[in-house]
Amino acid sequence: MGNRDKREINSLSYRLLSHLLFYCYWTDHRELYLNGWQTEIDNFRNDLLALLESKTYYNYFLNQLETNYDKALKMAKKKVERSKLYTLPSFPQNCPFTIEQILDEDFYEV
């Protein structure tokens, strides 16, 4: 597995996780953003699932999940804080999603 593939898996993972966090925990003006978040979740998930057909890539994804969740959490908090218009949601410190939920094409909310 090359560095480019690792970067792509990590990028898709933390962007998917951050959008799942927004979808599940953001409450301010939620109805304005749900459609966009759902579209992004679908796109990131589909691209990630295509890569994870390889056992090697899937194992790498599993090994990096905690690190990628930490990145997603940091990115989500930063986005909310930067806006200054919204209350920071109570995002969980530890990943609230199972592997099955993260990869399930029909999953959006905890």
pLDDT, one tens digit per residue, over 81-90 is 887 767 778 8
Count: domains in the chain: 1
DSSP SS3 for 27: coil
Q: How many CB atoms lie within 10 A of CB 66?
A: 11
Q: 20 lies in a domain?
A: yes
Q: What is the pLDDT of residue 47?
A: 98
Q: Is 50 exposed, middle or buried (0-12, 13-18, 19+ CB in 10 A)?
A: exposed
Question: What's the helix, strand, coil split of the chain in %, to 5?
Answer: 70, 0, 30
Name the pTM for this structure: 0.92
Residue 90 in 3-state DSSP? coil
Q: What percent of the chain shows pLDDT beyond 70?
A: 98
Whether residue 50 has pLDDT greater than 80: yes
88 in any annotated domain? yes
**What pLDDT is stored for residue 19 in this prediction?**
96
> Is residue 110 included in any domain, yes or no?
no
In a domain, 108, yes or no: no
- Specify if 60 maps to a domain: yes
pLDDT at 53 over 70: yes
Whether 20 and 102 have beta carbons less than 8 Å apart is answered as yes
Question: How far is 75 from 60, CA to CA, in rounded Å?
Answer: 21
pLDDT tens readout for residues 38-47: 999 999 999 9
For residues 68-85, average pLDDT: 89
What range defines the domain where residue 65 resides? 3-103
Task: State the average pLDDT over residues 100-109.
Answer: 95
To the nearest 10°, report the CA torsion of 27, 74, 62, 92. Answer: -40
pLDDT classification of 110: cutoffs 50, 70, 90? low
